A and B are shown apart, each in its own frame.
Chain A
Amino acid sequence: MSSSPGWLTDERESALLAGMLAPSSPVPLEALAAESKAITLRRFGRTISLYAPLYLSNHCSSGCAYCGFASDRKTIRRRLEPDEIERELLAMKKLGISDILLLTGERTKAADFDYLRRSVELAARRMQRVSVEAFPMSVAEYRTLAECGCTGITIYQETYNRDRYEALHRWGPKKDFVDRLETPARALEGGIKTVGLGALLGLSEPLEDALMLYRHVRHLSRTYWRAGISVSFPRMRPQTGGYEPPFPVDDHLLARMIFAFRIALPDVELVLSTRESAAYRDGMAGLGITRMSIASRTTVGGYDDTGRTDKGQFDVSDDRTAKEFCAALRERNIEPVFKNWEPVFNGPSDVQGTTMKPEEVHICH
């Protein structure tokens, strides 16, 4: 078994964050909120960029103790076929969505790399920006996805505590802690422009996870200086399988984490999904969070046929429509931004950093 990398435990790296997060921290939450708000306004303005998830498949080969899609659950397994994906995309576009996150479970025969690649191609034809939250891949596979129009990869470590990680991931390819940890770096090597990191809050001691997550961000920023990095704060909610999070994170601690990350990482995109309530999301808009999901379905598909009642990966807490959510943001003097990308910028990022080659110059004329 490979050992954990040294950067993961470098306490000097995260000293600033640790000071803001410590239970004994003398910095009042209100002061952190004010500083976080000021930084967010200066850097991102009065806007929130929006995306929506599309679950392509709930087939899964892993045994994550906390997940509704784990391979031992009795959930009905299905995947979207190309014609269904097309219908879902059109239904999402009707809501105004142009920035999409495609999701699958861990790699299976039913939802393998080729299936994912074809789905990315379909989505890239309809949407302005396509990201993927699926299974760990090879550098070559990431490069193929980037060439097909995928600009972002979300891959949560779930927990950075190795013992907890190995206990929670009971079987399957996801059991390898270090392989999971190195996946964002492989995505960036493959030319993916942005990686999304996060810890699933509730699985393990939250302060420890927050500090290691921060070190992960810093490590990737230093190593891949062209990389865009976003950080999410998914908090465990009741779900299929009935898993009770052993380290629940309350509203105040989550807020402290978001503010502290904004202050320590002023330029990084911070994401909050519909796992959180309407009131919490509205309150956080403009205080540090810069990107939110909207009108989310966590079932396979679900936009084209919203009458279905099968269980999703987790229960959505903020179930407002796109229209309602946008109205709430506008009420707070914040602009919901549906399109903040242009497909002309798609394609693998040039990780080597070269100027244009003569043949490219020729193409441009």
Chain B
Amino acid sequence: MDLLQLGNYSFTSRLILGTGKFSNSKVMLEAVRSSGTQLVTVALRRFNREQLEDDLFGPLRELPGITLMPNTSGASTASEAVRAAHISRELSGSPFIKVEIHPNPQHLMPDPIETFEAARILAKEGFLVMPYIAADPVLAKRLEDVGCTSVMPLGSAIGSGQGLATAEMLNIIIRESGIPVIVDAGLRSPSEAAAAMEMGCGAVLVNSAVAVAGDPPAMAEAFAGAVIAGRQAFRAGLMQKSGAAVATSPLTSFLGAKA
């Protein structure tokens, strides 16, 4: 069976859903259900113990067959992210932590230096660390070396809907990686998710594209189908793209020619 293996957890679904940005938690839960996802990420800062209507953690925890992956969004340094991870583990009971460190709350670009530091510490502590990073092949290997469970490079900037703008770097990361590569951020359409899976990603994470779609649950289902199709295509082995056109005067006709 083709399973996504993350630490000692295995999943049949290769679609991970983000839970922010939805118009209400009812729609969010419907989208989670219709996506068939088994792993969802939720921000610690959206955990509200005091007002249940506002809380994202509670209702997600009730869903059967769903593993929570809390994220540290809001942290701007490694030490904040480490502390957030500890609180998240206590609240959710999940060993997963999506390390998200933005030095600037506006651009939402991940800080590679702080992320590496936090990931190193948390992996040592036994977390299943899933760092959100720019599509940087060297950083991806460094994170694998310190024991991360997966790397989550961005397809393009969060909420930009620019798709796989980083495809060239993603291809290198996937080719070299010994751990699952999960494309996170920037996907707008199911076809882009399928393309990411065809490239050999272990999974994709989608949030905005589903949350702000006209019909979020229907879009979640569309992404689920695309992810399955893309994965099947990857496993089936895509037909080779032809190389350069063959020159009419062969370039190698001199080989074996008599002196």
- Give A residues with C-beta under 8 Å from B: 41-47, 93, 96, 98, 193-194, 221, 225-229, 267-269, 330, 333-342, 344-345, 347, 349-350, 353, 355-356, 360-361, 363-365
- Closest Cβ–Cβ distance, residue A46 to chain B (whole Å): 4
Contact B106 A340 (CB under 8 A): no
In order of increasing CB-CB distance, the 3 nearest A-B pairs are A45-B21, A267-B106, A46-B23
Residues of chain A within 8 A (CB-CB) of B44 are 342, 344
Q: Is B74 an interface residue (CB 8 A)?
A: yes
30 interchain pairs (CB within 8 A)?
Answer: A43-B158, A43-B159, A45-B22, A45-B159, A45-B208, A46-B22, A96-B53, A98-B51, A193-B76, A225-B103, A227-B104, A228-B104, A228-B105, A269-B106, A330-B23, A333-B23, A337-B46, A339-B45, A339-B54, A341-B45, A342-B44, A344-B80, A344-B84, A345-B80, A353-B103, A355-B114, A355-B117, A356-B121, A360-B78, A361-B121
- Complex-state Cα separation, A333 to B212, whole angstroms: 10
- Closest Cβ–Cβ distance, residue A324 to chain B (whole Å): 14
Contact B113 A355 (CB under 8 A): yes
- Closest Cβ–Cβ distance, residue A276 to chain B (whole Å): 22
Residues of chain A within 8 A (CB-CB) of B83 are 344, 364
Contact A98 B50 (CB under 8 A): yes
Contact B106 A228 (CB under 8 A): yes
- Closest Cβ–Cβ distance, residue B176 to chain A (whole Å): 24
Residue of B nearest to A227 (CB): B104
Q: Is B108 an interface residue (CB 8 A)?
A: yes
| Given contacts A42-B208, A344-B87, A339 and B104 within 8 Å (CB-CB) | no
Residues of chain A within 8 A (CB-CB) of B211 are 45-46
- Give B residues with C-beta under 8 Å from A: 20-25, 44-48, 50-51, 53-54, 74-80, 82-84, 87, 103-108, 113-114, 117, 121, 125, 158-161, 207-208, 211-212
Residue of B nearest to A329 (CB): B23
| Given contacts A47-B20, A339-B46, A42 and B76 within 8 Å (CB-CB) | no
| Given contacts A225-B104, A226-B103, A350 and B45 within 8 Å (CB-CB) | no
| Given contacts A335-B24, A345-B80, A350-B76, A45 and B106 within 8 Å (CB-CB) | no
Contact B161 A42 (CB under 8 A): yes
- Closest Cβ–Cβ distance, residue A156 to chain B (whole Å): 19
Residues of chain A within 8 A (CB-CB) of B74 are 341-342, 345
Residues of chain B within 8 A (CB-CB) of A42 are 159-161, 208, 212
Contact A229 B45 (CB under 8 A): no
- Complex-state Cα separation, A253 to B63, whole angstroms: 47
Residues of chain B within 8 A (CB-CB) of A336 are 54
Contact B51 A338 (CB under 8 A): yes
Contact A335 B23 (CB under 8 A): yes
Contact A356 B78 (CB under 8 A): yes
Residues of chain B within 8 A (CB-CB) of A345 are 45, 74-76, 80, 84
- Complex-state Cα separation, A353 to B76, whole angstroms: 10
Residues of chain B within 8 A (CB-CB) of A226 are 76, 103-104
Residue of B nearest to A347 (CB): B80
| Given contacts A193-B105, A341-B45, A364 and B212 within 8 Å (CB-CB) | no
- Closest Cβ–Cβ distance, residue A342 to chain B (whole Å): 4
- Complex-state Cα separation, A47 to B144, whole angstroms: 35
| Given contacts A98-B50, A194-B105, A334-B23, A45 and B77 within 8 Å (CB-CB) | no
- Complex-state Cα separation, A193 to B106, whole angstroms: 11
Contact A356 B117 (CB under 8 A): yes
Residues of chain B within 8 A (CB-CB) of A360 are 78-79
Contact A339 B51 (CB under 8 A): yes
Residue of B nearest to A98 (CB): B50
- Complex-state Cα separation, A342 to B160, whole angstroms: 25
Contact A330 B50 (CB under 8 A): no
Q: A350-B77, A355-B114 provided; 7 other pairs, C-beta below 8 A?
A: A42-B159, A45-B20, A269-B106, A330-B24, A337-B46, A345-B74, A356-B117
| Given contacts A41-B212, A44-B21, A338-B54, A365 and B76 within 8 Å (CB-CB) | no
- Complex-state Cα separation, A265 to B24, whole angstroms: 26
Residue of B nearest to A97 (CB): B51
- Closest Cβ–Cβ distance, residue B184 to chain A (whole Å): 16
- Closest Cβ–Cβ distance, residue A90 to chain B (whole Å): 12
Residues of chain B within 8 A (CB-CB) of A340 are 45-46
Residues of chain A within 8 A (CB-CB) of B46 are 337, 339-340
Residues of chain A within 8 A (CB-CB) of B114 are 355-356
Contact B107 A267 (CB under 8 A): yes
- Complex-state Cα separation, A150 to B48, whole angstroms: 20
Residues of chain A within 8 A (CB-CB) of B125 are 364-365
- Closest Cβ–Cβ distance, residue A131 to chain B (whole Å): 13
Residue of B nearest to A46 (CB): B23
Residue of A nearest to B162 (CB): A42
Residue of B nearest to A355 (CB): B117
